[in-house]
């Protein structure tokens, strides 16, 4: 009961500091569920509370389910993980008909395919749209997270089983694991027991910790990259299966040898030459991150959907697992830090709510200083050991941690973009350092803000920073956090990211009065936003 109280207090601390309407936590060990905590609301408007039966969309944690399902089908002799994808989907002929991409490449996110802009809502159309895809990395060479790759895996499951993905997954995973309150597709009939998801009200500005929320709306979903909805206790049963090396309560779901294969990290695919692959034991295996934490092996995966953030963490050596489900905005990565801390606490670490205090900035002192020149300058100072303020133009604002490696500020003149530090202070088009920035350049037709009606990646801005174009997203489950450079290619398109092996492409549309009217991002059209225009 003491652990239950500690976790309940941590959950309330999280909810008072971040926009988390409701949360459910399940803690498990080999014997069963050792703690279950619920806090907050399944619907913030009606004040309906979270209960043990409340379901949540678990997002990309579904990829771990998909991986285990493919392992089960391999055990059944229906799938060869090292066979070309084209063996199962004959229309899949990327790079002019190459058969080099295998099932395992999709499982490990090393196919070279795009991450996905969610331009198409249904699995078959999404997959077929990639039939003639081009890639610029050899399969197995580069880790590049791809929702589209996992969508293809779901189509393979349907091809080899002759069943819808939801039925194949329910029959081979959910029912054998006793996950009675879960499902492998998200349909309108599930709404009654599904927590209402929430998004940030404003899509075009970085959300402060107290940013207002709005109901996200309901989206039916069946693709294998994010098809599962579950209760926290049911996801805890899946965690117990991982702890049991493929067996739960005497039921063998997958052979331990096959599960071990799925949890094997490939060699270094970072492109950096670092020892981040199989030699260190850490990296992305098949559908799950494998980490070595203080000498113990952790299996982890985050999940973001429109209106939901989840996290699964299993310490296979320590013998505990944690499932954390919320109806917070899907990009709210502080949930990941919270869940990892819960697993630490369960295994003996002291509870430390300061770890998810948005005013606490990790390594705060490295940001301190005067950035910029007399013409454009900010002063960043400590306000306590790990808190920061930003002063400019006679006003002072507070800086906050976002949980994704960037900062946000409530200073009225410095709140339109995220802040980060990379030897210079980076803020939208600004690159502030002790020396003057690069000389001013003429406005570029692409500069501005763009939006679409996809809820996954609704808007982004394009700015010139030090003479280079960068794409910056304020919100969005699938939006990048690294503010990638846009590199113009010979055909007039732009690569999203400096690495020449990256597959994402942005295609400008027509120019009117010196401004591009729309852009195409991997098949999803974004138009120049009227919200970016001065008010009359």
CA quadruple 17, 19, 23, 28: dihedral positive or negative? Answer: negative
pLDDT of 536 higher than 70? no
Q: 313 and 192 in one domain?
A: yes
Q: Are 327 and 21 in contact (CB under 8 A)?
A: yes
Residue 172 lies in a domain: no
Which one, of 293, 301, 350, 292, lies nearest residue 322 by Cα? 301
pLDDT confidence of 534, banded at 50, 70, 90? very low
Whether residue 452 lies inside any domain: the answer is yes
Q: Which of 100, 128, 161 is the last residue of a domain?
A: 161
Cα first-last separation, the chain:
60
User: How far apart are the C-alpha atoms of 198 and 191, rounded to whole Å?
Assistant: 14
pLDDT at 63: 98
Per the structure block, which two tokens stand in for 414?
């410095």
pLDDT of residue 306: 96
CA dist 337 and 37 (Å) reads: 17
What count of other Cβ atoms lies within 10 Å of the Cβ of residue 252?
A: 14
pLDDT band at 375 (very low <50, low <70, confident <90, very high): confident
pLDDT at residue 532 in the model: 67
- Between CA 383 and CA 63 the distance in angstroms is 42
Same domain, 38 and 90: no
Residue keyed to tokens 């309560």? 249
Q: Are residues 409 and 454 in the same domain?
A: no
- Cβ neighbours for 114, distance < 8 A, ≥ 6 positions apart: 130, 133, 146, 148, 503, 504, 522
Predicted pLDDT at 533: 57
**The pLDDT value given to residue 279:** 38
| 311-322: pLDDT as tens digits | 999 999 999 999
Query: Domain count of the chain?
Result: 4
Q: Does the pLDDT at position 144 exceed 80?
A: yes
Contact 225, 191 (CB under 8 A): no
Whether 319 is in a domain gets the answer: yes
The structure's pTM equals: 0.95
Check whether residue 36 and residue 103 sit in a common domain: no
Q: Mind listing the pLDDT tens digit for each residue in 177-211?
A: 999 999 999 999 989 999 999 999 999 899 999 99
The pLDDT of residue 275 is above 80: no
pLDDT at 276: 35
- The CATH code of the domain that includes 278 is 3.40.710.10
For the segment 390-417, the average pLDDT, to the nearest whole number, is 96
Residue 438 lies in a domain: no
| Same domain flag for 54 and 75 | no
The answer as to whether 166 is a domain residue is no
Are residues 208 and 349 both part of a single domain? yes
Task: Give me the CATH number covering residue 513.
Answer: 2.40.128
Quickly state the pLDDT bin for 281 (edges 50, 70, 90).
low
Report yes or no on 440 lying in a domain. no
What's the confidence (pLDDT) of residue 441? 84
Task: Verify that 386 and 500 share a domain, yes or no.
Answer: no
423 in Cβ contact with 87 (< 8 Å): no
DSSP letter string over 476-510?
A: -TT--SS-PEEEE-TTS-EEESSSTT---EEEE--
Q: pLDDT at residue 68 above 80?
A: yes
Give the burial string for 479-501 (b: 16+ CB within 10 Å, else e).
bbbebbbbbeeeeebbbbbeeee
Q: Reading across the β-sheet that carries 296-305, which strands appear in turn? A: 48-49, 32-43, 22-29, 320-326, 308-315, 296-305, 289-293, 283-284
Residues 191 and 219 both lie in one domain: yes
Question: What domain range includes position 269?
Answer: 2-61+182-356
Average pLDDT over residues 424-450: 89
Whether residue 236 sits in one domain with residue 145: no
Residues 107 and 21 in one domain: no
Q: Are residues 31 and 84 in the same domain?
A: no
Tokens standing for residue 95: 């790079």
Q: What is the mean pLDDT of the chain?
A: 94
Single out the residue in 161, 192, 209 at which a domain terminates: 161
Mean predicted confidence (pLDDT) in 80-100: 97
The answer to whether residue 48 is domain-embedded is yes
318 and 385 part of one domain: no
**If you average pLDDT over residues 455-459, what whole number do you get?**
93
Please list the residues that pair with 299 across neighbouring strands.
290, 314
Q: Is the pLDDT of residue 45 over 80?
A: yes
Over the stretch 478-516, which tens digit does the pLDDT of each residue have? 999 999 999 999 999 999 999 999 999 999 999 999 999
| pLDDT of 256 strictly over 60 | yes
Tell me, yes or no, whether 443 lies in a domain: no
> What percent of the chain shows pLDDT beyond 90?
89
Of 4, 49, 35, 38, which is closest to residue 325 (Cα–Cα)?
A: 38
DSSP 210-231: T--EEE-----B--TTS--EE-
């Amino acid at each position: 009961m003491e652990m239950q109280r500690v976790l309940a207090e941590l959950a309330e601390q999280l909810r008072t500091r971040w926009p988390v309407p409701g949360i459910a936590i399940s803690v498990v060990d080999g014997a069963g569920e050792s703690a279950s905590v619920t806090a907050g609301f399944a619907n913030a408007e009606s004040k309906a509370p979270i209960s043990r039966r409340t379901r949540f969309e678990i997002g990309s944690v579904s990829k771990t389910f998909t991986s285990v399902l493919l392992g089960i089908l391999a055990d059944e002799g229906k799938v060869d993980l090292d066979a070309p994808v084209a063996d199962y989907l004959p229309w899949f002929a990327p790079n002019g008909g190459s058969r080099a991409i295998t099932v395992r490449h999709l499982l490990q996110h090393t196919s070279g395919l795009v991450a996905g802009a969610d331009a198409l809502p249904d699995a078959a159309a999404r997959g077929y749209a990639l039939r003639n895809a081009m890639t610029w990395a050899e399969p197995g060479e580069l880790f590049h997270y791809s929702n589209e790759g996992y969508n293809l895996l779901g189509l393979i499951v349907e091809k080899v089983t002759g069943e819808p993905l939801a039925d194949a997954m329910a029959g081979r995973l959910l029912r054998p694991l006793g996950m009675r309150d879960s499902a492998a597709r998200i349909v309108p009939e599930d709404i009654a027991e599904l927590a209402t998801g929430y998004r940030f009200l404003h899509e075009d500005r970085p959300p402060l910790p107290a940013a207002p929320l709005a109901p996200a709306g309901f989206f039916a979903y069946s693709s294998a990259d994010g098809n599962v909805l579950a209760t926290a206790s049911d996801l805890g049963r899946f965690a117990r299966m991982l702890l049991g090396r493929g067996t739960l309560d005497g039921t063998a779901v997958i052979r331990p040898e096959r599960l071990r294969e799925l949890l094997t990290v490939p060699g270094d695919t970072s492109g950096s030459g670092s020892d981040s692959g199989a030699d260190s034991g850490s990296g992305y295996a098949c559908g799950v991150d494998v980490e070595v934490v203080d000498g113990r092996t952790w299996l982890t995966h985050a999940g973001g959907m429109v209106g939901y953030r989840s996290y699964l963490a299993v310490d296979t050596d320590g013998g505990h697992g944690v499932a954390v489900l919320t109806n917070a905005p899907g990009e709210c990565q502080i949930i990941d830090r919270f869940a990892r801390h819960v697993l630490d606490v369960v295994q003996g670490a002291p509870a430390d709510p300061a770890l998810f205090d948005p005013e606490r900035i990790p390594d705060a002192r490295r940001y301190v200083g005067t950035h910029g020149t007399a013409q454009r300058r900010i002063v960043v100072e400590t306000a306590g050991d790990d808190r920061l303020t930003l002063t400019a133009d006679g006003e002072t604002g507070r800086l906050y941690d976002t949980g994704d490696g960037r900062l946000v500020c409530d200073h009225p003149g410095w709140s339109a973009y995220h802040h980060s530090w990379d030897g210079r202070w980076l803020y939208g088009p600004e690159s502030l350092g002790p020396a003057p920035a690069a000389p001013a350049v003429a406005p570029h037709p692409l500069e501005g803000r763009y939006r679409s009606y996809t809820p996954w990646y609704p808007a982004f801005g394009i700015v010139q920073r030090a003479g280079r174009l960068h794409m910056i997203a304020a919100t969005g489950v699938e939006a990048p956090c690294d503010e990638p450079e846009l590199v113009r290619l010979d055909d007039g398109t732009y690569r999203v990211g400096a690495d020449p092996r990256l597959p994402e492409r942005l295609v400008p549309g027509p120019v009117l009065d010196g401004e591009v009217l729309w852009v195409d991002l991997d098949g999803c059209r974004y138009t120049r936003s009227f919200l970016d225009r001065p008010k009359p």
